[in-house]
Chain A
Amino acid sequence: MVLFRREFRRGLKAAAVWWAVMAGLIWVTMSVYGQFAEQQENLKKLLSTYPDSVKAVFGMDRVDMTTPIGFYAVEVYFMVALLGAVYAVTVAGPMLVKEENDKTAEFLLAKPISRTAVVTEKLLAVGVHLVLFDVAAAVASIVGFRIAGGGWDAESLFLLMLGAWLLHATFAAVAFLLSAALRKSRHIVSASMAVVFVTYFLGVVSDLSEDLKALRYVSPFEYVDAADLLAGRSIDAAAVAVLGAVSIGCMALAYFRYRRKDIAA
């Protein structure tokens, strides 16, 4: 666990910055809820004039935005999902390849540690950091609800955070596979960041029109859509299966690849 401890500690400082940024965003947004609630009637009228497709993008057709949890689902959750996905790929993307990129692999892999253990301990470090991120998000959200004046329940929040974690783990697994397979770290973070934003965008587009509905299947964000989670009171089993299969598949491939990888001099 020497390597895990090192990676875990090394990532803490950056993690704290991410937590702070996210908490700040959550609190600022939730602080708007008070004014929002005061003008409920006007807003309801305003919102009813929105085209249905726009409402669908934000899940406003399925949740009541005038409740704090509904407001949270529409205005806050996508930030947690998106920010966390970006965080996940910046943590997982360089995780293995940075040793080769910085030529420290020559040090690390000459130590009595197997390639399998290197992958396992680094993977564990990524996993723990993702859990911490989502726990931090949950805590910040609870504080956010306090700012908004209450109105949350543990079950809903837990469901949302579990969904977010599943999403983040999936993106991390994809980035981690790239890290195991490629030799230069330069492109990995930007490539996986592109995957995050493109799939997010496809998710948004898929809600805009019936013709593009099929696109939602390629966007992990749509698998853990806040409105769906709250409306169904559970995460869709098929969504769990797909995201889980992608994650496990990527991790298995990462082991397979890294165990046979030639480390570039």
Chain B
Amino acid sequence: MHAIETRGLTKRYGRKTGIAEVTFAVSEGEMFGFIGPNGAGKSTTIRTLLNLVFPTSGSATVFGMDIVRQSRDIRRIVGYLPAEVRYYDDMRVSDLLAYSAQFYAASGASAADMRRRAAGLAERLGLDLAAKIEDLSFGNRKKVGIVQALLHKPRLLVLDEPTAGLDPLVQNEFYALLREARAEGATVFFSSHVLSEVQKLCDRVAIIRQGRLVAVESVERLVRNRVKKVTLALDRPEGVELRLDGVERREASDGALTLFYRGDPKLLLDAVRELPFSDIRIEEPSLEEVFMHDYAREEGSADGSVSP
């Protein structure tokens, strides 16, 4: 059985399309990334899975349960971290976590276990349980969200941009938590617009753009395909001659030459060392650029019917 399976999932808001014909499957126990630029439909997909919004057409199941008809049963075993974490201002962190636990306790989870877990998680993330929610910074509210999502040992974790706003130390602790959850058998589904984060954690990723699924790929392949963005600062970049295989695209602009290069970095350095550049920058292309680069051509053919 798949942890998540969507079939032609579509959500329209009036005439505006949120997502169109999204089809993919996440295996149980998998760590699955969902990447795409802001506004591509990541949140819409996630919020449809949780039945916060209703699909216009298509369907989806979570552990075999229908996302609309069996939503409550699904939510019993799902931990959800929304992109924008906002809680009740009149509560303290401990109140919020206790409130959250009560809903799961009402459907059978052990209240004592959840209390213990909350305390342990809060300590690891450096979250003050006595703090008032309204006084928390964005990062600290996110921590509350993380604890709240993990509290009841969910079988499926659905995390929408979980690390945005977390400082690097906390991010590492968070990654560790995800790995532990996974080791205990949980499935993790999380969205991000940071490629490197997804790369670090996930087995497979789905790439979404303008509401349509562009590809579902193993991270391995994504890394193998990895393109570097090389920017050289030099005069008259138009005239530069470069003998180098693997340059997929070059752009000359005022005082800079930008190359999208796929290949051995040593060969790149050998090739550019003779050039009269005054500065060099080698970086990961942004997600937008990866899309423009790798997936722009496939977009027409890939209607989302990608099988894992």
What is A's interface to B at a CB cutoff of 8 Å? 1-2, 6, 10, 102-107, 109-114, 260, 262-263, 265
Contact = CB atoms under 8 A, between A and B. Distances in A.
Given A112-B107, A262-B54, A2 B99 contact: yes
Interface of A is mostly: loop
Contacts, number: 67
B50 interface: yes
B54 A111 contact: no
A216 to B, nearest CB: 42
A15 to B, nearest CB: 15
Contacts of B80: 106, 110
B102 A2 contact: yes
A7 to B, nearest CB: 11
Contact of A104 (B52, B86, B104): B86
Nearest to A111: B103
Contact of B43 (A2, A109, A262, A265): A265
Interface string B87-124: 11110000000011011101100000000000000000
Contacts of B76: 112
Contacts of B13: 262
Nearest to B11: A262
B37 interface: no
A203 to B, nearest CB: 37
Interface string B36-60: 0000000110010011111000000
A68 B43 CA distance: 63
B293 interface: no
B88 A114 contact: no
A107 B72 contact: no
Interface of B: 13, 43-44, 47, 50-54, 71-73, 75-76, 78, 80, 82-84, 86-90, 99-100, 102-104, 106-107, 148
Contacts of B102: 2
Contacts of B89: 102
A1 B106 CA distance: 9
Contact of B75 (A10, A102, A110, A260): A110
Contacts of A2: 99, 102-103, 106
Contact of B104 (A111, A262, A263, A265): A111
Contact of B103 (A10, A104, A113, A263): A113
A104 B78 contact: no
A111 B100 contact: yes
A2 B102 CA distance: 7
Contacts of A107: 82, 86-87, 100, 148
B52 A6 contact: no
Contacts of A110: 50, 52, 75, 78, 80, 82
Given A114-B72, A265-B84, 20 more contacts: A2-B99, A2-B102, A2-B106, A102-B86, A102-B88, A102-B89, A106-B82, A106-B84, A107-B86, A109-B50, A109-B51, A110-B75, A111-B104, A112-B76, A260-B54, A262-B54, A263-B52, A265-B43, A265-B47, A265-B52
Contacts of B52: 105-106, 109-110, 262-263, 265
A111 B73 CA distance: 10
27 contacts: A1-B106, A2-B99, A2-B103, A6-B99, A102-B88, A104-B87, A105-B52, A106-B82, A106-B86, A109-B50, A110-B50, A110-B78, A111-B100, A111-B104, A112-B72, A112-B103, A112-B104, A113-B75, A114-B71, A260-B54, A262-B13, A262-B52, A262-B53, A262-B54, A263-B47, A265-B44, A265-B84
Contacts of A10: 90
A259 to B, nearest CB: 10
B84 to A, nearest CB: 6
Contacts of B148: 107
A112 B84 CA distance: 20
A94 to B, nearest CB: 13
Contacts of A105: 52
A109 B50 CA distance: 8
B83 to A, nearest CB: 8
Contacts of B82: 103, 106-107, 110
A109 B90 CA distance: 19
A55 to B, nearest CB: 48
B87 A111 contact: no
Contacts of A106: 52, 80, 82, 84, 86
Closest 6 CB pairs of A and B: A111-B103, A103-B86, A112-B76, A110-B80, A106-B82, A262-B53
